[in-house]
Structure 1
Amino acid sequence: MSTSVADNEIKEPKSCANCGQEETDDAKLKGCAACKLVKYCSRDCQVSHRSRHKKACNKRTAELHEEALFRQPPRREDCPICFRMLPEGDTGGGQTYWTCCGKTVCSRCCYEHIQVTGEDAVCPFCRSPATERILERLNSRIKFNDAEAYFELGLIYFNGEEKLEGVARDPEKGLQLLIRGGELGAANSYSLLANAYMIGDGVEKDEKKARHYHELAAIGGSVKSNLAMLEVDAGNFDKAIKHAMIGAEFGDPNSLKLVQLCFMNTNGEFATRDQYETALRAYQQYIEEVRSESRDKAAVIGDQYKYLIEPKKPIEKSER
């Protein structure tokens, strides 16, 4: 998302907002962590100024949150073997995370490794053999603040995995691991938590927390259409379309479907033709970037190699 005019007009404060003390090399000021608008020389000045600053702080904090929600997610990393962009993991498969080295390898390279070597239990990147000691490897990876390892380990504890070293379900432990994974950059951790709170799976049902984690997932780069659908349910179609446009650009077919339906079924009231065509072009560009003949060949072999998914239901033009 490009920087707005309002952002450009905000200048970094050089003095304490309460007492006016100037910042020097020896006396650094500390900024308001929420709004970034003001700085203070001490905690006492911050507390004293709070009542006068609260309104502006809340307004700017809300603006910053809104900007973060609609910021373009970073480009996906490349497969470390073929150097082609990895498919968007949030919207489908097409990749495997290896606990030995912490690398995520695309389905094509996993498949071709098996075809060339005949080894289906060896990491295509570091050649380490697979092991049943998944927990040991994941616990080793989290020491390096590996976000995906936190997600995988959190998922194991949150759901329980009796077949995997007899891990009983422990939602509380899984929750903490998933939160840490989200903080380190695994947006799928937040998505899982959001869905859990939405239906009350392993935690008490709480729609406010579900929305909170959906928003954190979006800020972290998740492009699923979940938050867009929440905005549709709330009647906030402008926000829903913004989320869906980003989702379509990063390969989520259900986001594209939402933009199309909002255009076709409402005669352009909630989404314009230009928005739909822009979303369609962006989606097609994503497909061109991740698609390859070798990935398509691997996808035919089995579901574990598929890297593109279809919308939940066929897109049909309304008869209205």
Structure 2
Amino acid sequence: MALQQQIKNRDTNLLLGIGIFGILVLLYAPILLHWVDGWLHKTISIEHEYFSHGLIGLPFAAYLSWQKRKQWQRLPNKSHPLGIFLLVIGGIFYLSGVTEWVNLSLPTILTGLCLWFKGFPGIRLQGFSLILVLLATPTAVPYLIAPYTFPLQSFIATTAGFILNQFGMEVVVDGINIYVGGKIVEVAPYCAGLKMLFTTIYVSLMLLYWTGALASRRVTVWFLSMAIVISVIANIIRNTLLSFFHGTGKEGAFTWLHDSWGGDLYSALMLLSLVPLLNWLDQLLSPPPEIQPELEESATSD
């Protein structure tokens, strides 16, 4: 009888899981397809295009959750009241019809489901996947940050002007405007490298998790700090090239790097450089294998 009851409960949980998954697909498949189409063809709003890292982040989050399915099943069924609250809030967000709220309903409902089924142990198990979904969800954060990027814009313009001057070009920098050969290039808020910075941090978190380096606070802090610096430097170089191309009449190259696939290629190469950087930091900052057991024994005795 106990075995039959166990099989019955397992079948019931399986059917419930399939049913909830089906509902989520019906609710969010059109939204996710809209995001993907907008990110691929740049038909989505400028602010929401900043979250195009979701093209790799969302599949990775789904893969991690699938990989942990057996651990999920072994967790005891333990509902938390906060789960119901989040599910209600997520439903309200979805039904509101407001784009930002509808988008945010996805991570809200997913978090609510984890709490409803498994409580906080479920959150701990699926926490990184939920973070990836949240950080890939298009919101108005870039729009809210844009008014405060003027110092960064001015710094980029001044540095780009200085670099071009070193090559003998007559360049005048006025605030966020770079004048090259009588032609102006503006380092606008959306040219200040926020999109590249968002993507860099997101991809860096994925690399840290994938390699297991996220467990080391020193490696994580150093890697994220250096990745941010690399992102800023890469954006300065990009704006310098754009100013050079526009000022010297090379409009084809300007368009290729600014509006076409050249910008994507440039960003991809910059992101690839993070892989050897993480490997180097991990080897440099992680303790040698022969002293790791000693550290573990010391931590146990404490």
Q: TM-score, normalised by structure 1?
A: 0.22
TM normalised by structure 2 equals: 0.23
